[in-house]
Amino acid sequence: MVPPTHLPAPPAIADDWALFLDVDGTLLEFAATPEGVQVPPGLVARLAGLQRHLGGALGLVSGRRLAQLDELFAPLRLPAAGLHGLERRHADNHVDPPTPPSLLRVLHRKAELVVERFPGALVEDKDSTVALHWRGNHEAEQPLRDLADAALPWLHDYRLQAGDGVVELRPAGTDKGDAIAALLDEPPFAGRRPVFVGDDLTDEHGFEVVIARGGLAVLVGDRTPTLASHRLGAPRDVLAWLDATADAPSHRSTA
Ligand SMILES: [Mg+2]
């Protein structure tokens, strides 16, 4: 596999693209806390201009909630997938709300009883997912894993997503790739060449979808391995790339 640093920079944005952008680590530099991120001056106006340039086919695909995205980019409200695709806002402004099964609430309460016994362990509730963290207390790993394993058969269409020191129960069919595929089925995204820009491991699902549909996958940074076809070094390079489009005359995809 080609090392990410050898991947070419993406071509100029063409006006027949459907462009999807991750937020943290892609448009915005990471901060010490998720609340601490800064939206660079002019970025909101730049995104609004890009949305017009693309006939509306610009979407955000993020791990954040839609409400947080709207706060960050106010007054702009782009079509978006929040919580890695669990929340979706379509181009017509209609929002698919997450619908947590009541059994997830039961699991949540049980998990809270476990973490009370293991200080440092944590239950993170994102409405339709529950993440069980033991990075702060490894003695909680087995009890939390057992709890998740026991709950899974009762949670219809849910799956376990394992991470480093964490296991998350989340609905199947709700990753960033599913979110992009769903938006690509409807106007104004349908029929356009899909391009996704992202930095994180969870963005690889999105890369897979856009590549399968003849599009471009743009990695931000040098995470490896990756399915990406193109690369930009850091959020400041993404912004420069977006800027170049704002100044450039309209053109169609050539490749
Ligand atoms: Mg990211």
pTM, full prediction: 0.78
Å from CA of 139 to ligand 1 middle: 30
| Predicted local distance difference test score (pLDDT) of residue 155 | 82
- Among candidate residues 16, 22, 222, 243, the one labeled active-site is 22
Does residue 22 carry a catalytic annotation?
yes
| Predicted local distance difference test score (pLDDT) of residue 247 | 55
CATH tag, 102-171: 3.30.70.1020
Å from CA of 29 to ligand 1 middle: 9
- Half-sphere CA count of 114, side-chain side, radius 13 A: 24
Q: What CATH superfamily is the domain 4-86+174-247?
A: HAD superfamily/HAD-like (3.40.50.1000)
| Predicted local distance difference test score (pLDDT) of residue 21 | 98
Å from CA of 25 to ligand 1 middle: 4
10-residue stretch averages of pLDDT, the chain, 255 residues long: 84 96 95 84 94 96 92 96 86 79 85 95 86 92 95 84 85 86 95 96 93 98 94 97 72 60
Å from CA of 200 to ligand 1 middle: 5
Q: Where are the domains of the chain?
A: 4-86+174-247, 102-171
